[in-house]
Structure 1
Amino acid sequence: MKISEIETELDALKKQMATKVTEIRALATDDDSDVADVQKGVTEIDDLQKQIDDLQVERSAIKKAQELSDEERSLKGQTNMKIDPNKTQETVEVRDFMHYLKTGEKRDNGMTTTDAGVVIPKEILDIQKVPTDVRNLSAVVNRVSVTSGMGSLPILQKNTARLTTAEERAENPEIAKTILKSVDYKALTYRGALPLSMEMVQDAPNLKTLLNTYVQEAKELTEQYQIGQVLKTATAVPAATTDDLKTAYNKGLANYNRQWIVTESFYNAVDLLKDGNGRYLLQDSIASASGKALFGASVLIVADDVLGVDGDAKAFVGDPKAFVLEAIRSDVAIEWDHNENFERILAVALRADFKPADTNAGKFITFGAGK
């Protein structure tokens, strides 16, 4: 390909790139846009930039070849010349915009080899991850995918309708009307990125997979705490004795799929209680996330600060799927190379809203054991 042809194609690609950058910039600043659409646009910009880089390298190689002396051309012909398109630099405007799209902010500090000195010493050892609470409340609530950033969802309340008797061939009695409640939502964007130096990734190949899991867990914990905030809005019930707990469980929650979501402090307090026959209240259950059941209902344990503060013996009892609505607009995880800084970036983004739906479906218990 002649240099003139390359330059013509370069001009066309650069114009296409400028148009696409303007389009994606507008999309990235629009509150109603979808993160997935922005991500797709970023990929298209990356592809255009790569095409431009490749052509610039070809143009440079042709120019250099034309300037070689006969002796130099002979020497060059005897070796395999490899061209790395990644060596070219992006324009300042494109580079900065791409960084904004991918991180949402200016990069101040990332994870460097120095930061990770304790984890990755000079002699690479197996990396041990600090245990993270992987029990995610999003598995037990009503997660609904929505197609817009804001709107209203109809929620069917607890059914109390009954059929009535009727004479033969008489007109059918009307069933009590269904009780629908509209729940308004507005998806908020939760996002974060973790920059890793390429030196770290190269020196500890399993680190990227490890930290990818870490980033995903950060997203799951975001859901965990947001759902906890909704559960705390349930009808407050104080409990000081075992009988108080039984009453809270037994009354007002008929026809709901009851379960317990409890803090570690609540679990510990109840785990020490016994009934009148000296048997512990918590019983083994293979169907429960914690392996325990309370009054026949499964028990799911969360950190104290999900439902309160450290040391709080708090619990939600009822049907979390009926009580909590999680409206999901988008849920994406991405990773990319940032060649300018020789780093790899892991990122997640969640657009969602968390709302109480059927507020009769649960109670929020504060427990203080009686003397």
Structure 2
Amino acid sequence: MKTSEIEGQIKSLKKQEAEKINEVRTLANSDQSDVADVQAGMKEVEELRSQLANAKKELETVQRAKELLDDEAKTEEKKESEDMKISPNQEQETAEVRDFITYLKTGEKRDNGMTTVDAGVVIPKEILNVQKVPTDNRNLASLVNRVMVSSGMGTLPILQKNTARLTTAEERAENPEITKAILKNVDYKALTYRGALPLSMEMIQDAPNLKELLNTYVQEAKELTEQYQIGQVLQTATPVKAGSADELKTAYNTGLANYNRQWVVTESFYNAIDLLKDANGRYLLQDSISSATGKSLFGANVTVVSDDVLGGGAKGFVGDPKAFVLEALRSDVSVEWDHNENYEHILAVALRADFKPADTNAGKFVSFGETGK
């Protein structure tokens, strides 16, 4: 096949992909559309992308074949390759990273190896893994149920806590509870969260450690986005007011026995309970080697977040965050060049995800210092 024919095929597939994406977006934004139609459209988009990727690989193969070295050079290249033990996958990953770095420095998108989404470019996994950012124990994303999804919107089945017990054959005939389903369908629609990184094209062109620099900023932006969105979901739990240590105990002791209970509290909440003592003069907060804060409350681990993550004030979630919160993650982190108010090229980052309450019986949202329920 001629190079021009493959290039024509790639151009046609790109056009079809763009048209289909616009069509699916229109369906997703329409109140009259059906989820099944959107899902079918997304499958067509994925199929077009698969065909496009295959066509690009074919073009790369043909181009490489046209640039074959003479026998002596090929022998030397083969020897060097064997010494370095570079696999085909590693070569492809290196090409992807190389094209991505070129995009960052010039704004030029290349067709070979680079993954694009909308107007942006997906960051290669090699770059995101270059620098392992230490896991922050206060990061709520580590506490919830994160699920990778293949479409922008849909439904996920969530297994809720089972309350039905096993019975004898005679009892089962009279026990309708045993037949009740414990699956709950949670609808999601991936939203695009965007933000600007404080990096200009000029800064990136001169940066000696570009991969590490980009990785650090992207990880921080992603974690902060998840932190505040998860905090919004936790605030939807059943509200409880507690004005004393006894009322805190009641909130913890009742209705949550079937769950893996823990506390997610604001700094103000933590400070308030850190001053509380029981009737014997002992502080309510006890030492715990398994807790991020080194403390436990009524035997459950305590995670402390900024006040504004949970709406401000002495607020806290008690229950099982993993059962309560579902994070539907649609795509990897992508970046694109944008203009700021000074008409400078700045790097923007985007994350597609949705955050939903799953098992709403799995927690309570406590306002400490307030009386009444």
Q: TM-score range by the shorter chain?
A: 0.5 to 0.7
- Structure 1 residue 357 corresponds to structure 2 residue 363: no
Aligned partners of 1:164 and 1:173 also within 8 Å: no
Alignment of 1:207-218 (within 5 A): 208-218=211-221
**Paired letter, 2:120:** K
SS in 1 for 2:179: coil
- Structure 1 residue 205 corresponds to structure 2 residue 208: yes
The answer for the alignment partner of 1:163 in structure 2 is: 166
Alignment of 1:40-59 (within 5 A): none
With normalisation by structure 2, the TM-score equals 0.63
- Structure 1 residue 326 corresponds to structure 2 residue 340: no
Aligned partners of 2:241 and 2:370 also within 8 Å: no
- Structure 1 residue 287 corresponds to structure 2 residue 290: yes
Shift in Å at residue 253 of structure 1?
0.8
- Structure 1 residue 153 corresponds to structure 2 residue 130: no
The answer for the alignment partner of 1:177 in structure 2 is: 179
Task: Name the structure where helix makes up a greater proportion of residues.
Answer: 2
> Which runs of 5 or more structure 1 residues have no equivalent in the other structure?
1-8, 55-85, 105-130
1:120-154 C-alpha deviation (Å, 9 max, x unpaired): xxxxxxxxxxx997732121112222332222222
Shift in Å at residue 211 of structure 1?
3.7
Tell me how far apart the structure 1 counterparts of residues 149 and 257 of structure 2 sit (CA, whole Å).
30
Aligned partners of 1:166 and 1:173 also within 8 Å: no
Alignment of 1:209-228 (within 5 A): 209-228=212-231
SS in 1 for 2:186: strand
Tell me how far apart the structure 1 counterparts of residues 166 and 6 of structure 2 sit (CA, whole Å).
70
Shift in Å at residue 363 of structure 1?
0.5
- Structure 1 residue 26 corresponds to structure 2 residue 19: yes
Aligned partners of 1:267 and 1:301 also within 8 Å: yes
SS in 2 for 1:280: coil
Percent identity over the alignment is 62
- Structure 1 residue 313 corresponds to structure 2 residue 314: yes
The answer for the alignment partner of 1:247 in structure 2 is: 250
Residue number among 119, 127, 130 corresponding to 1:101 in the alignment: 119
Shift in Å at residue 221 of structure 1?
1.5
SS in 2 for 1:220: helix
Aligned partners of 1:331 and 1:349 also within 8 Å: no
Aligned partners of 1:200 and 1:207 also within 8 Å: no
The answer for the alignment partner of 1:273 in structure 2 is: 276
**Paired letter, 1:315:** G
Structure 2 vs 1, CA of residues 215 and 307 (structure 1 numbering), >3 Å: closer, same or farther? same
Larger Cα Rg: Structure 1 or Structure 2?
Answer: 1
Shift in Å at residue 48 of structure 1?
11
1:62-83 C-alpha deviation (Å, 9 max, x unpaired): xxxxxxxxxxxxxxxxxxxxxx
Aligned partners of 2:16 and 2:48 also within 8 Å: no
> Which runs of 5 or more structure 2 residues have no equivalent in the other structure?
26-37, 65-101, 123-133, 339-343
Shift in Å at residue 172 of structure 1?
7.5
- Structure 1 residue 135 corresponds to structure 2 residue 138: yes
Shift in Å at residue 284 of structure 1?
1.5
Shift in Å at residue 190 of structure 1?
2.2
Tell me how far apart the structure 2 counterparts of residues 36 and 196 of structure 1 sit (CA, whole Å).
32
Aligned partners of 1:333 and 1:347 also within 8 Å: no
Structure 2 vs 1, CA of residues 321 and 193 (structure 1 numbering), >3 Å: closer, same or farther? same
SS in 2 for 1:144: strand
Shift in Å at residue 260 of structure 1?
0.2
Shift in Å at residue 264 of structure 1?
1.1
- Number of aligned positions between the proteins: 294
Shift in Å at residue 158 of structure 1?
2.6
With normalisation by structure 1, the TM-score equals 0.63
1:71-130 C-alpha deviation (Å, 9 max, x unpaired): xxxxxxxxxxxxxxx9xx9999x9xxx9971279xxxxxxxxxxxxxxxxxxxxxxxxxx
Tell me how far apart the structure 2 counterparts of residues 37 and 139 of structure 1 sit (CA, whole Å).
33
**Paired letter, 2:155:** S
Tell me how far apart the structure 1 counterparts of residues 235 and 315 of structure 2 sit (CA, whole Å).
9
Alignment of 1:334-353 (within 5 A): 334=334, 348-353=349-354
